[in-house]
Amino acid sequence: MKRKIIKIDEEKCDGCGVCVPACVEGALQIVNGKAKIISETYCDGLGACIGECPQGAITIEEREAEDFDDEAARRHLEEKEEVTEKLPCGCPSATVVRFEGPESAAVASKDAIPCQSMLGHWPIQLTLVPPTAPFLQGADLLLVADCVPFAYIDFHQDFLRDHALLVACSKLDDFQSHQMKLTQLLRQAEVKSLTVVHMEVPCCSGLAHMAKQAMQLSGKDIPLNEVTIGIRGNIKSDSS
């Protein structure tokens, strides 16, 4: 049938992923760095995602398309929300472990050069961390883009100290899957605060949008801080 459906301009789309959580039917996904409609039956054509695209890459057109199927969209979302407690990789290092840092790290001054890691748990990749992990309970949570620790030299001392860490990439990872996982995590863990640290490049800002959407979907109201790191390793902005 001929009906209204969204159209994505791939020349304008930078793959930031902001549109993905804006589609409540789950019709959008980042594929090979571009937003795609994964099934026409999931798109209702109302265009809730249009206003969320910072590049203006999404419009509505009228063309031949499959009917919107509300029931199919609902089943699709339910399948995406299923979270398994079994970690995706089978290597022994993926086992959830909590360990205490050395006493020297706990008493070191902020200006001291750290000689010990401030990391207090494993795993750290968002995909691998189960929502029931004990180190998440009552934690100040740090959601960090993959590139940040390489660009910001004092990452351990200035950000990681006394925080539970999650690492993700809003461009190269499955944005929708990560957003669902973070939502589940916020629902189950009594997180005290959430700090998002990302790079200044446009696609990396999707991590902050992911966190805000997950916060809204989880129904939690906790302090949210966003920090932007420049590609030269400086702090460009800090909302705290």
Please, what is the average pLDDT of the chain? Answer: 84
Confidence of residue 110 (pLDDT cuts 50, 70, 90): low
Query: pLDDT per residue over 35-89, tens digit each?
Result: 899 999 999 999 888 888 888 999 999 999 999 999 998 888 777 655 434 444 4
Q: What is the pTM of this model?
A: 0.61
Confidence of residue 29 (pLDDT cuts 50, 70, 90): confident
pLDDT at 111: 59
CATH topology of domain 116-238: Rossmann fold (3.40.50)
Query: pLDDT per residue over 201-227, tens digit each?
Result: 877 888 998 999 999 999 999 999 999
pLDDT at 20: 83
Residue 92 confidence (pLDDT) above 80: no
DSSP labels for 6-74? EEE-TTT-----THHHH-TT--EEEETTEEEES-GGG--SS-TTGGG-TT--EEEEEEE-PPP-HHHHH
Report the share of the chain in percent with pLDDT over 90.
55
Residue 157 confidence (pLDDT) above 70: yes
Mean pLDDT of 82-102: 46
Q: Convert 94-123 to b/e letters by CB count within 10 Å (16 or more is b).
A: eebeeeeeeeebeebeeeeebeeebebbbb
CATH class of 2-81: alpha beta
Delimit the domains of the chain by residue range.
2-81, 116-238
pLDDT at 113: 56
Tell me the range of 42-51, 160-169, 170-179 where mean pLDDT is highest: 160-169
pLDDT at 90: 44
Provide the 3-class DSSP secondary structure of residue 98. Answer: strand
Mean pLDDT of 127-135: 91
Mean pLDDT of 155-176: 91
Q: What are phi and psi of 218, to 5 degrees?
A: -75, -20
Provide the 3-class DSSP secondary structure of residue 28. Answer: strand
Please indicate whether residue 166 or residue 90 has the higher confidence score (pLDDT).
166
Confidence of residue 124 (pLDDT cuts 50, 70, 90): very high
